[in-house]
Amino acid sequence: MSHKAWMKTVPTENCDVLMTFPDSTDDHTLLWLLNHIRLGIPELIVQVRHHKHTRAYAFFVTATYESLLRGADEIGLRKPVKAEFGGGMRSFSCEEDYIYENIENELYFFTSQERQNIIRYWLENLRAKQGEALHNIHFLEGQPIIPELAARGVIQQVFPLHEQRILKRLMKSWTSQDICCVVFAIFNVVWSTLFLEEWKRRGAEFAYKWGTLDTPAESIEEPRPQFRGVKRISPVTSAEEFYYPPWKRLLFQCLVSLPVCLACLSFVFLVMLGCFQLQELVLSVKELPRILRFLPKIVLAVIVTTCDEVYKKIAYWLNDMENYRLQSAYEKHLIIKIVLFQFVNSYLSLFYIGFYLKDMERLKELLLIFSLSQSLVRQLKEALLPFILLHLHLSLIFLKGLLGFCWRLGVSKVGAGRAGAVHAAVNTPIPDPTPGAPIPDSVAHVWPTSG
């Protein structure tokens, strides 16, 4: 039974902690636990009450002021010290109780949270003796009784109660009766209603002026430039348009899109199970360093991050192949694919651990690794990758300029050598031809011999 049902009962003045039991609890269980509480924790005052509507029992637990002082001494509760004794905070001690502020006032010395914390400490430290048992529940020596019964379902709930005196004071101080808030709320209701009605009228007026009052949105939207199809005469506008049969799109969705999506999701599930099996294998080896115990989770985070990018490209490719005519339809189906891929890829392992394995420690570790890996990848993509690409681009420009300079320098040297040879050949006087005499080399470069 929820605590809301007990809130509807007659309030009990002397009660700090409420312990409820299922309606099927027998009297032997109640008497056994009540006897152990009274013998093991004599400081507590327990009242047994019965809820007539749900037929369930409850223990109303509290303690006297003197018992609470001893409990505060046991747990080392820190309380403010009077100014004449140095002030500040100090762990409570019964031997020097006179040095603490409000020690004379039983009503204000302990807050409700402090009283409930002391009582909870006593209840959780109620321990079983050797050989004790309740029905089929056998306790070990020194085992806490209340947590074990709560885990077995014998005790339904143990929760603190609000203090009526403090609640009444909070209701007066926290709730506002300012008339301006009421006026502002009424103004918002009236203004938003009038604004929406006026906007509807202006929208209808503009639609009538523009001739789009009875025109569906699909007729106004232009087709996508990437839309493919066969040319035909539109039966509505009698204009030439591209047409793609809907059955082809449906056939592609059933034979390609759906199997690809199922295959990708199955791959994610198998990878997740494989990483969990690897985690169990790593944990079974005691000699491995502690850092290696996080290796399967890091591998899973890297695979999830990589698959996220791959699945995004697959979603775009499938959406392009389905060949939607309008941009709105294209974006709607693309969002469905991307959300499906990213949700299953990113959260399947978290839901599996949280709701199936119910391992909160592993869930916290995996969630931490996922958050760190995604932040690291985001920083690499947004900061490091542009930096590397920029310097790589500048390096390529520098190499191109260096190679171009070297090429121009070589060409200029070759051109200067050829120009000097031509100039020398031109300025060399041509001797009179003598039968059988050899032709000079300088002339031979300019005037090639024939034959």
Residue at 361 is within a domain: yes
Contact 58, 18 (CB under 8 A): yes
- 10 and 109, same structural domain? yes
pLDDT band at residue 196 under the 50/70/90 scheme:
very high
pLDDT band at residue 427 under the 50/70/90 scheme:
low
pLDDT band at residue 6 under the 50/70/90 scheme:
very low
- 232 and 319, same structural domain? no
- 238 and 286, same structural domain? no
What is the model's pLDDT at position 195? Answer: 96
What is the model's pLDDT at position 337? Answer: 93
What is the model's pLDDT at position 290? Answer: 76
How do residues 174-183 score in pLDDT, each as one tens digit? 766 678 888 9
Residue at 427 is within a domain: no
Give every CB contact of residue 68 below 8 A, 6+ residues apart in sequence.
Answer: 110, 115, 118
- Sheet of 44-51: strands edge to edge? 44-51, 56-63, 17-20, 157-160
What DSSP line would sit under 313-339, residue for residue?
A: HHHHHHHHHH--SBHHHHHHHHHHHHH
pLDDT band at residue 313 under the 50/70/90 scheme:
very high
For residue 7, pLDDT over 50 is answered with no
Mean pLDDT within 187-210: 92
- Token pair of 323, please? 């060949």
Q: What percent of the chain has pLDDT over 90?
A: 19
Residue at 109 is within a domain: yes
For residue 420, pLDDT over 80 is answered with no
pLDDT band at residue 238 under the 50/70/90 scheme:
confident
Residue 227: give the domain boundaries: 191-243
Taking the CA atoms of 278, 279, 280 and 286 in sequence, report the sign of the dihedral they define.
positive
- 256 and 134, same structural domain? no
Bigger pLDDT: 215 or 395? 395
Residue at 450 is within a domain: no
- 139 and 20, same structural domain? yes
- Around Cβ 366, how many Cβ atoms within 10 Å? 24
Quote the pTM value.
Answer: 0.45
How do residues 343-392 score in pLDDT, each as one tens digit? 888 888 888 888 888 888 888 888 888 888 888 888 887 888 888 888 88
For residue 445, pLDDT over 50 is answered with no
Mean pLDDT within 67-82: 90
- 22 and 11, same structural domain? yes
Residue at 205 is within a domain: yes
For residue 274, pLDDT over 60 is answered with yes
Looking at the 3D structure of the chain, how many domains does it have? 3
Distances (CA, A) of 403 to 212, 223, 391, 410: 63, 49, 18, 11
Instruction: Please give the radius of gyration of the chain, using alpha carbons only, rounded to the nearest integer.
Output: 43
How do residues 125-158 score in pLDDT, each as one tens digit? 889 888 888 888 888 888 889 888 988 888 988 8
- 314 and 168, same structural domain? no
- 157 and 16, same structural domain? yes
Among residues 335, 362, 379, the one where a domain terminates is 379
What is the model's pLDDT at position 131? Answer: 85
How do residues 239-262 score in pLDDT, each as one tens digit? 888 889 999 999 999 999 999 999
CA distance 299 to 296: 5
Mean pLDDT within 1-15: 53
Report the relative pairing of strands 78-80 and 17-20 from DSSP bridges.
unpaired
Out of 19-33, 185-199, 411-425, which region has the weakest mean confidence (pLDDT)? 411-425
pLDDT band at residue 423 under the 50/70/90 scheme:
low
- 98 and 237, same structural domain? no
Among residues 243, 262, 286, the one where a domain terminates is 243
Residue at 126 is within a domain: yes
- 278 and 159, same structural domain? no
- 231 and 251, same structural domain? no
For residue 84, pLDDT over 60 is answered with yes
Among residues 144, 173, 202, the one where a domain terminates is 173
Residue at 441 is within a domain: no
What is the model's pLDDT at position 429? Answer: 56
CA distance 411 to 282: 66
Residue at 73 is within a domain: yes
- 29 and 84, same structural domain? yes
How do residues 212-233 score in pLDDT, each as one tens digit? 776 666 566 788 888 888 888 8
